[in-house]
């Protein structure tokens, strides 16, 4: 299709003959393949520059974000080309549908109430259920009506996730105005863990003592039988080998830190601090991401908000209910897949 804008010079056309894309002359396939190449090259260049300039201790967060965005530049140019070109076009409704489906596929794993399959189970038993969460990128903590979760049990979940690096994100939902599953926000386990410690000296003390004991047990493991027995006694763990080295293998507990933390926070079960929606906001507002892409919003406005979102993750809702979560970098990729021609 001819462009509605004409020029007297052939060189001024905005549609390169090779690809049909106004701002990217190399085609969709080249754009997709170039993304990981750029990511590796820019990451290596940044690493070399840090070494050469002695910037090893400098924070790299914003630089890494810039590297990711630059790597995605070819994809964004393809999307822009589709938007302004006469062929292909950009259908906001189709893109919304594609992104919503992609987010729903990464909704996350629902965590049992208080990290236990049955209400009233001890924190030590809760450690067992953490094993099933360590492979998930996203987990959902449903506060329900405000009586489903205690602060010290959330501490246990966040401590394990922060140490292991998985789950990477905790999504909170809650009952609001009688409607269940409403999105309340998301945060990283490390941020949640720090806020919980800052809010309660008792939780901080329990966490630090458990970490110290775990470090001592690991040291004892490498010290031989006699020194190990002495260290275990000094740590207050004499006669507790079944706790640190559970049968039948009697190897060091894979969740040693959490097992010891569960033992430390067990006393909070008698008078737990429940987490309802107001308490969630009071505890975590500085680190809680509450923005979400609501499906009922006008398609064009929705797509504009999706492409302008700068958070590490983007939450999706449908009539206020949590619908899923996508990494911010995956949004541009999903848009590309939605606008690419069949067979491209």
Least confident of 40-44, 146-150, 199-203: 40-44
94 or 143, greater pLDDT:
143
pLDDT at 105: 87
Classify each residue of 102-136 as buried b or exposed e, where b means 16 or more C-beta atoms within 10 Å of its C-beta.
Answer: bbeebebeebbbbbbeeeebebbebbebbeebeeb
Structure tokens at 144: 């329900």
Q: CB of 3 within 8 A of CB of 15?
A: yes
Longest dimension (CA), the chain: 91
Query: Rounded mean pLDDT of the chain?
Result: 80
Residue of 313, 205, 178 whose CA lies nearest to 264: 205
Identify the weakest region by mean pLDDT among 33-37, 53-57, 201-205, 284-288: 53-57
For residue 21, pLDDT over 70 is answered with no
pLDDT (tens digit per residue) in 69-109: 777 777 777 766 665 554 455 677 878 888 888 888 889 99
- In 3D space, the residue among 78, 100, 63, 51 whose CA is nearest the CA of residue 293 turns out to be 100
Q: What is the DSSP string of 235-257?
A: TT-TT-HHHHS-TTTTPPPTTHH
CA 224 from centre of chain: 40
**Crossing angle of helices 328-339/92-104, nearest 10°?**
130
- Residue 340 pLDDT exceeds 70: no
Q: Which of 3-7, 143-147, 284-288 has the lowest mean pLDDT?
A: 3-7
β-pairing, 169-176 vs 321-327, is unpaired
Note the pLDDT of residue 2.
45
Range 119-123 average pLDDT: 63
Q: Report the 10 Å Cβ neighbour count for 314.
A: 24
Determine how many CB atoms are found less than 10 A away from the CB of residue 165.
10
What H or E segment, with its residue span, contains residue 317?
strand 313-318
Closest listed residue to residue 261, CA positions, set 250, 253, 249, 273? 253
Q: Is the peptide bond before 164 cis (omega within 30 degrees of 0)?
A: no
Q: What is the pLDDT of residues 215-253, one digit of tens each?
A: 888 887 776 666 666 777 777 776 677 777 777 767 777
């Amino acid at each position: 299709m001819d462009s509605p804008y004409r020029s007297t010079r052939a060189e001024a056309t905005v549609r390169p003959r090779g690809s049909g894309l106004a701002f990217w002359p190399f085609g969709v396939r080249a754009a997709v393949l170039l993304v990981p190449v750029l990511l590796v090259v820019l990451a290596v260049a940044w690493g070399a520059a840090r070494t050469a300039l002695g910037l090893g201790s400098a924070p790299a967060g914003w630089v890494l974000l810039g590297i990711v965005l630059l790597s995605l530049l070819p994809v964004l140019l393809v999307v822009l080309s589709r938007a302004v070109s006469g062929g292909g076009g950009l259908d906001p409704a189709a893109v919304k549908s594609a992104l919503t489906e992609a987010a729903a596929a990464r909704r996350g794993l629902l965590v049992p109430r208080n990290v236990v399959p049955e209400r009233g189970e001890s924190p030590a038993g809760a450690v067992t259920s953490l094993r099933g969460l360590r492979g998930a990128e996203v987990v959902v903590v449903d506060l329900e009506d405000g009586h489903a979760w205690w602060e010290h049990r959330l501490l246990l979940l966040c401590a394990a996730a922060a140490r292991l690096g998985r789950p990477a994100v905790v999504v909170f939902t809650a009952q609001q105005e009688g409607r269940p599953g409403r999105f309340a926000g998301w945060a990283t386990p490390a941020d949640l863990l720090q806020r919980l410690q800052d809010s309660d000296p008792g939780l901080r003390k329990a966490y630090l003592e458990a970490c110290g004991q775990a470090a001592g047990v690991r040291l004892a493991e490498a010290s031989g039988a006699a020194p190990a027995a002495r260290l275990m006694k000094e740590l207050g763990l004499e006669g507790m080998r079944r706790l640190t080295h559970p049968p039948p293998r009697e190897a060091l507990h894979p969740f040693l830190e959490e097992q010891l933390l569960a033992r430390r926070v067990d006393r909070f079960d008698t008078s737990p601090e429940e987490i309802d929606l107001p308490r969630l906001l009071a505890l975590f507002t500085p680190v809680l991401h509450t923005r979400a892409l609501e499906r009922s919003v006008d398609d064009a406005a929705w797509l504009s908000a999706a492409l302008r979102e700068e958070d590490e993750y983007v939450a999706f809702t449908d009539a206020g209910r949590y619908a899923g979560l996508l990494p911010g970098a995956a949004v541009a990729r999903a848009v590309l897949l939605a606008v690419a021609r069949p067979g491209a």
